[in-house]
């Protein structure tokens, strides 16, 4: 994998999301934010996440989806349960993953961060393949951008978000990255 001039990675599946925009001029990418996601909650197959990030989710297909009507979100990357990486937003653009957020006194974390969704939930362990892919991706991003920290969504939106959740093995991930 390599990061191209426009922020797209080679060697990964690319599914462009419209849910992104330009970063503020001169803003460095300094933060990596870990998330978890499953749609419907607790289910780890299908294309619902891709449909959510591309605004094509059929909100009538599952009772949970009704609350997602009109929601416009994205992340730079998704790591599936089998370790496959999908990129939705080029690193040069601002993905809409953090929402109302703050890190070290700076608000609007989307401006200066990259978002990685790891397919999972707060209730089950992540897979070996996911950790391998995540470490590989993190190493590449650390070589390509001036990242100062890696945090969970819960760290930048405390009380509002819990992900990546209690089953995310921070010790293992941080030791390997």
**SS3 per residue for the chain:** CCECCCCCECCCEECCCCCEEECCCCCCCCEEEEEEECCCCCCCCCCHHHHHHCCCCCCCCCHHHHHHCCCCCCCCEEECCCCCEEECCCCCEEECCCCCCEECCEECHHHHEEEEEEECCCCCCCCHHHHHHHHHHHHHHHHHCCCCEEEEHHHHCCCCCCCCCCCCCHHHHHHHC
The 10s digit of each residue's pLDDT in 16-35 is 999 999 999 999 999 999 99
Split at pLDDT 50, 70, 90, the class of 45 is: confident
With contact defined as beta carbons under 8 Å apart, do 6 and 92 qualify? Answer: yes
Within-domain flag for 171: yes
Within-domain flag for 64: no
The 10s digit of each residue's pLDDT in 96-125 is 999 999 999 999 999 999 999 999 999 999
With contact defined as beta carbons under 8 Å apart, do 1 and 137 qualify? Answer: yes
Within-domain flag for 53: no
Candidates 30, 43, 117, 128; catalytic one: 117
| CATH number assigned to the domain comprising residue 107 | 3.40.80.10
117 is catalytic: yes
Split at pLDDT 50, 70, 90, the class of 91 is: very high
Question: Which residue range(s) make up the domain with 170?
Answer: 13-45+74-176
Within-domain flag for 65: no
d(CA 99, CA 53): 14
Within-domain flag for 168: yes
- Establish how many alpha carbons lie within 13 A of residue 5's alpha carbon, considering only the half-sphere containing its beta carbon: 0
How many structural domains is the chain composed of? 1
Within-domain flag for 57: no
Within-domain flag for 50: no
The 10s digit of each residue's pLDDT in 130-177 is 999 999 999 999 999 999 999 999 999 999 999 999 999 999 999 988
Within-domain flag for 7: no
d(CA 135, CA 165): 18
Q: What is the pTM of this model?
A: 0.96
């Amino acid at each position: 994998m390599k990061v191209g001039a426009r922020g797209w990675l080679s060697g990964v599946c690319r599914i462009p999301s419209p849910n992104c925009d330009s970063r503020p001029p001169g803003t460095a990418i300094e933060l990596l934010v870990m998330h978890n996601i499953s749609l419907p909650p607790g289910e780890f197959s299908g294309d619902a996440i891709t449909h959510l990030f591309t605004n094509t989710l059929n909100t009538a297909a599952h009772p949970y989806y009704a609350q997602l009507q009109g929601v416009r979100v994205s992340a730079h990357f998704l790591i599936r349960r089998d370790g496959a990486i999908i990129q939705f937003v080029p690193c040069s653009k601002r993905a809409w993953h953090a929402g109302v957020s703050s890190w070290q006194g700076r608000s609007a974390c989307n401006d200066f961060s990259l978002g990685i969704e790891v397919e999972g939930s707060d209730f089950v362990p992540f897979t070996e393949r996911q950790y391998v892919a995540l470490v590989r991706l993190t190493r590449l991003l650390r070589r390509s951008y001036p990242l100062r920290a890696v945090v969970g969504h819960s760290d930048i939106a405390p009380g509002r978000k819990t992900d990546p959740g209690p089953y995310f093995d921070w010790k293992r991930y941080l030791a390997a990255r």
